[in-house]
Amino acid sequence: MGNTKIVIAGPRGRMGSEAVKLVERTENFELAAVIDHKHNGKLLSELGVSTLAVPVYSDIIECLNVVKPDVLIDLTTPEVGMYHTKTALSLGVRPVVGTTGFTKENLAELETLCRERELGCVIAPNFALGAVLMMKFAQVAGKYFPDVEIIELHHDKKLDAPSGTSLKTAEMIAEVREEKKQGHPNEKETLPGARGADFAGMHIHSVRLPGLIAHEQVMFGAEGQSLSIRHDSYDRVSFMSGVKLAVDTVMKLNTFVYGLENIID
């Protein structure tokens, strides 16, 4: 099998620069170009991210038409990520998307595009395999413990709240949990937001602090007991084995996959 030709969008970012290193060190992966809105026409080696002299494009359409990659890895911002993913699919390139903040409508639109184009696409709000296992374990627990509070903690540069992982966790728990509004029926917030965001009666709390990377605790409570399931990413390298798995998998797919849990056994 030949090399998988990859384009990375967002190569100067915290995740994108880690993805550049992943592609550089992975046999059979080839970094063909990067997409960066501020450095059109330069080489990646001029951006201080890598010594690779691959071209930098600002215009995704030009990039994908010229380079003709197999896969686009997007690690940018929600609006840009959505535009990049749609454009990649329309040009026959398989997207692997780590960018978070996509709405339900965005996901539905991308799923339709994949079906029409018969192309694989992997969107993973969390590439850390430990976080994926946390979600799976939380789903098992949610069947027996309907009272749950999700606390997600991230660095203070994160744009979207709640995190994609906490939403995905809540969605997975909601599939098995009897719907229930938690807390006292007459509870009242004296400060708006004190009880966090409401997802099918579950509460999601978002903490933003410098020094953190990505962390989540799913707390279940019942009479006389509690159960906490927690995952911590201490370094962005924790996401890279999932990125590699997603790239390898998307090459064999012609469907839309949302969440890494759907591609691990």
Interface with ligand NAP (CB under 6 A) = 9-10, 12-16, 35-38, 75-77, 80, 98-101, 124-128, 158, 214, 239
Closest to ligand NAP by CB, 196 or 259: 259
Question: What CA–CA distance (Å, rounded) separates 177 from 163?
Answer: 21
Question: What CA–CA distance (Å, rounded) separates 244 from 211?
Answer: 26
Place of tokens 């309907």: 146
For ligand NAP, the nearest residue by Cβ is 13
> What angle is formed at CA 260 by the lines to CA 174 and CA 116, rounded to 5 degrees?
90
Is 157 a known active-site residue? no
Q: Is 10 labelled as part of a ligand binding site?
A: yes
Query: E strand or H helix at 62, and its extent?
Result: helix 60-67
Closest to ligand NAP by CB, 54 or 147: 54
Name the catalytic one among 84, 154, 203, 244.
154
What count of other Cβ atoms lies within 10 Å of the Cβ of residue 139?
Answer: 19
- Show the beta-strand stretches assigned E in 106-209: 121-123, 148-154, 197-199, 202-208
Q: Is 265 labelled as part of a ligand binding site?
A: no
**Shortest Å, Cβ 124 to ligand NAP:** 5
Q: Is 38 labelled as part of a ligand binding site?
A: no
Q: Is 92 labelled as part of a ligand binding site?
A: no
Is 154 a known active-site residue? yes
Please choose, from the candidates 150, 162, 157, 149, the residue with its C-alpha nearest in 3D space to the C-alpha of residue 209: 157
- Give the three-class secondary structure for 12: coil
Name the catalytic one among 21, 86, 136, 158.
158
**Shortest Å, Cβ 191 to ligand NAP:** 27
Closest to ligand NAP by CB, 168 or 177: 168
Annotated binding site for NAD(+): 10-15, 36, 98-100, 124-127
What is the set of active-site residues?
154, 158
Annotated binding site for NADP(+): 42
